[in-house]
Structure 1
């Protein structure tokens, strides 16, 4: 009986014949692999491989969750997103989450938990992205001071219901942010006690 998705360990319908690197820099490698279909027909498949593991941070505090207005060159606009980036060599996702939260949002974490893995674009990007939920140190310990190159404004604190409204209104369109929010909502234990509905 056919299934809607490929089960882990089952035969792969597209087989890589040769990895063909077409571009590379310190951030990753772009491949245009030579592949063969189940019918035996040759073809090619574009694939991006990040140099390091990715991480997206869901910052949680008394006022909800923090989104950072970040300018994204490909879409030519500021995008409301959870902070994200890549792990340094040898860095654990939890440690990268704390660092990225500070660099991109100017916020300090009092706790962090890796709650799962997502794939930002399964049709192009090979690597997964760790989703880490962090409890943010209250504002009385100092206002947020994001780095100028990482964001265009200070973090915006939003409740879960407001995030849902903003998704419906098209104010949040970043796929990684939407997937991370969905994963947190699916695992309410990821949230600190006071932040749960």
Structure 2
């Protein structure tokens, strides 16, 4: 039996049996990735199909932190036909590394310049269909050197919106932030750096 042990727990937790891929079945491709509808076998012996989206490039999301708190962008998201308050994110281009991609996406979507960047870990945005992990970064930004945002032609964004650490719990309780990637990035940030002061202090250590 495969087991996984939770952090801080002496009791092993049984891992579920895997759903086995029998045949890889691509059904759609674009420059962003490939959609598969694979033939699979469940642990029960039942057979069926399972959708998964495999991005061609790795993704990154960046939490911008400055003197005023945390910066968000309001992005119009076509799938939900509504505006969404989010952290800047995107994928690498060419041979670009993920850290460089995070700094570039930050600059393009907000105009903010990254003064320091560190990794917070990875998240899986939707384990039911999305195969690729997303790397999470926190960036201290130099507000004084900020310039105009340069979004892509198919993006619709507003100026950065700042939330103080004191305001953030209210925003979450009010449902102002519903983007799963942004919420997960916030959870990783809060676990390691509860306040912007903690981020600055860790940079001096």
Q: TM-score, normalised by structure 1?
A: 0.88
Partner of 2:9: none
Q: 1:18 aligns with which of 23, 30, 34?
A: 23
Structure 2 residue 141 is the aligned partner of structure 1 residue 136: yes
Structure 1 regions of 5+ residues with no counterpart?
Answer: none
Partner of 1:180: 185
Cα distance in 2, alignment partners of residues 141 and 54 from structure 1: 26
Structure 2 regions of 5+ residues with no counterpart?
Answer: 7-11
Partner of 1:73: 78
Matched residues, number: 193
Equivalent positions of 1:96-111 (< 5 A) are: 96-111=101-116
Cα distance in 1, alignment partners of residues 56 and 76 from structure 2: 22
Structure 2 residue 38 is the aligned partner of structure 1 residue 33: yes
Cα distance in 2, alignment partners of residues 151 and 159 from structure 1: 24
Does the CA-based 8 Å contact 2:109-2:157 persist in structure 1? no
Cα distance in 2, alignment partners of residues 66 and 144 from structure 1: 15
Structure 2 residue 92 is the aligned partner of structure 1 residue 83: no
Structure 2 residue 198 is the aligned partner of structure 1 residue 193: no
Partner of 1:163: 168
Cα distance in 2, alignment partners of residues 176 and 17 from structure 1: 30
CA drift of 1:40 comes to 1.5
Cα distance in 2, alignment partners of residues 11 and 148 from structure 1: 42
Cα-to-partner distance string for 1:79-107 (whole Å, 9 max, x where unaligned):
00000000123222111110000111111
Deviation >4 Å, runs of 4+:
1-8
Relative distance call for 1:113 and 1:28 in structure 2 (3 A) is same
Cα distance in 1, alignment partners of residues 172 and 66 from structure 2: 20
Relative distance call for 1:155 and 1:146 in structure 2 (3 A) is farther
Q: TM-score, normalised by structure 2?
A: 0.85
Cα distance in 1, alignment partners of residues 91 and 63 from structure 2: 15
Relative distance call for 1:146 and 1:192 in structure 2 (3 A) is farther
Does the CA-based 8 Å contact 1:184-1:191 persist in structure 2? no
Question: CA RMSD of the aligned region, Å?
Answer: 2.8
Cα-to-partner distance string for 1:129-183 (whole Å, 9 max, x where unaligned):
0001101012x32454343744431000111232221111011000000000000
